[in-house]
Amino acid sequence: TTERIRSYRTAGSKLLFMDIEDEGVMVQGMVNERTLDSRCDQDEKSAVRKHFRNFMKMIRRGDWISVTGYPHRTSTGELTLLAMSPPNMLSPCLQTLPVGPITDRNILTRNRHVHMLTSPQPSDILRLRSRIERFMCTFFDDNGMTKVTTPLLTAAASGAVARPFETNSNAVEGVPLKLRIAPELWLKRLVLGGLGGVYEIGHVFRNEGIDQTHNPEFTMCEFYLPFATQTDLIALTEKLLADLSAHLQSLRPSTSSSAHPSHTTPLFASLPPPPLFVPPFKRIPFIPTLNALLPRPLPPLHDEPTAHPELLRLCEEVGATLPADTDERARLSVAKLLDALASHVLEPLTLHADSGGQGAAAPGPSDRDAAASAPLPASPTPAVWITDFPAVMSPLAKSYWDGALAQRVAPRAELYVRGRELVNAYEEENSPFAQRDKMRAQGRGRGKGDAESMDVDEDYCDALEWGLPPTGGWGCGLDRLVMVCAGRERVADVLSFGSLRNVVALREGRRGRGKGKGNGKGREKGEKGEGEREE
């Protein structure tokens, strides 16, 4: 077997004990000179003893070795690998392997490999992530969808409201390129072409900030299913999460590696159990709930000249987060003002769904509708749907007039788990005329200085003229799903090498050492504290 030495101890000059590990599985190894002598001829004994004693002199914690032997129980009853020949050094560890966990965040973020060597959590999280991706692929395959890959580099970035990264290619000189901000429009073209249900798990890039739950480069899973309605999307999501939770729970008592049948260690032992998802999840209708919790109902949202000043006043009255600059506030779109209200009023309702709490207190007068402001009923599931968004917030979704609300509504639902958005799903707009109008309406934000407003994608609108069937679309941030299942608060913890800031710090740390700097003390340059933007 080939293993890494985690610790070792000697008993005289002829007996060596080692704690050796591979892929999270630890086993004791024992090398006894008497056993080695008994396995070789008299002429070989001198060479074997010299080999063994040289090995004892050079051994260090962290070395990779190979050792051949068989299972054996010591006098204390501990299961041990008893060596039949002297171990061989495969790769020495030239650094001093730290004893115990490292708490210095600078060291951990700049040296992820050291973090993995001193704590089981980083490796457990990456193994958990792999299992989650594998399960999701199997789930979508079993539901008749086709896994595809769509372009990362494109001439136009669309499919989401976000600022793209820009670059260029020597192969297409003179054409500015962008990294995709979403695969949505590509995937819907494949549905339009007759491929049926499709899904993709891939990277997207948004030139935005960094905080606890955001990173400019992240992994998105999206699927598009012909003839799926909002109800179908909700049901499919709830089944996916319920089955995933049960699957991860079933893995925990199993062995870590079949290569070590004598040594059992629960998978993901360093992580808390995944949350329990039991359908049906709670639902909060967007407009009726806001109408009940705000000082007064929402204005007619389709009438922008009337809606904008009233929404701005509502945001200021309830204390929603807005830019400090007055002119910048005035440039905010109706959709962004509604998003600010939702973040301040609706999202806190999803914080403690599994404990029966209401989350943060909703702002406003005390005589609001009691039914709307009452705590959500207790449930073992930490997931809550916010449903039926205003159409103005959903330019890629279908919409309809709701006479009871006197508002235009989109069949769209977002799933929140403990206050964080996890899933966004809606019925796709498939009319080329309506889609072009919605893109134009949102694109007007660019004229007001909103760099994140979506441009009209004429190529996509032209493609819709070939007939996109009624389609349900679904997107889930895979990094956030791993955070939920691993019980982590920072997105950097579920990425192989942390956030973009951590990746950049790898090189900056090397430059600093070359200049005699970078002693690892204090907060690294640019690292944000709790609650600051860090995507």
Q: What is the pLDDT of residues 267-309, one digit of tens each?
A: 788 899 999 999 999 999 999 999 999 999 999 999 999 999 9
> Residue 386 in contact with residue 417, Cβ under 8 Å?
no
What one-letter code names the amino acid at 140?
Answer: F
What residues contact 482, with CB distance under 8 A and at least 6 apart?
125, 128, 129, 132, 488, 494
C-alpha–C-alpha distance, residues 151 and 249, integer Å? 35
pLDDT for residue 288: 97
As given in the structure block, the two tokens for residue 434 are 């309506």
Dihedral pair phi/psi, residue 311, rounded to 5°: -65, -40
CA 220 to chain centre: 8
C-alpha–C-alpha distance, residues 338 and 315, integer Å? 9
Closest CA to 59 of 99, 107, 111, 8: 8
What one-letter code names the amino acid at 150?
Answer: T
**Residues of the chain where predicted confidence (pLDDT) is lower than 50:** 255-264, 356-378, 512-535
b (16+ CB within 10 A) / e for 358-383 = bbeebebeeeeeeebbeebeebebbb
What one-letter code names the amino acid at 264?
Answer: T
| Superfamily per CATH, domain 2-97 | Nucleic acid-binding proteins (2.40.50.140)
Q: Count Cβ atoms below 10 Å from residue 520 Cβ, excluding itself.
A: 14
Report CA dihedral (386, 387, 393, 398) to the nearest 10 degrees: 150
> 3-state SS string over 390-406?
EHHHCCCECCEEECCCC
DSSP string of 54-77, one letter each residue: HHHHH--TT-EEE--EEEEE-TT-
C-alpha–C-alpha distance, residues 443 and 158, integer Å? 11
pLDDT for residue 355: 54
What residues contact 126, with CB distance under 8 A and at least 6 apart?
496
> Residue 193 in contact with residue 185, Cβ under 8 Å?
no
As given in the structure block, the two tokens for residue 19 are 């704690």
What residues contact 386, with CB distance under 8 A and at least 6 apart?
283, 284, 285, 286, 342, 346, 347, 350, 413, 414, 416
C-alpha–C-alpha distance, residues 194 and 468, integer Å? 9
Lookup result for tokens 């007039």 = 401
> Residue 146 in contact with residue 193, Cβ under 8 Å?
no
pLDDT for residue 74: 82
Pairing of strands 166-167, 177-179: antiparallel
* Topology match between the domains 2-97 and 118-252+263-354+379-493: no
As given in the structure block, the two tokens for residue 176 are 């500015």
Closest CA to 347 of 300, 427, 415: 415
What one-letter code names the amino acid at 160?
Answer: A
CA dist 513 → 95, 159, 505 (Å) = 16, 42, 12
What one-letter code names the amino acid at 430?
Answer: N
Q: How many residues does the chain have?
A: 535
Prior bond of 305 cis (ω within 30°): no
pLDDT for residue 336: 93
Task: Return the domain boundaries, the chain.
Answer: 2-97, 118-252+263-354+379-493
Q: Alpha-carbon Rg of the chain, whole angstroms?
A: 29
pLDDT for residue 3: 87
pLDDT for residue 381: 82
C-alpha–C-alpha distance, residues 146 and 425, integer Å? 19
What crossing angle do the helices spanning 334-341 and 304-318 adopt, rounded to 10°? Answer: 30
pLDDT for residue 199: 98
CATH number of 118-252+263-354+379-493: 3.30.930.10
C-alpha–C-alpha distance, residues 222 and 428, integer Å? 13
pLDDT for residue 518: 34
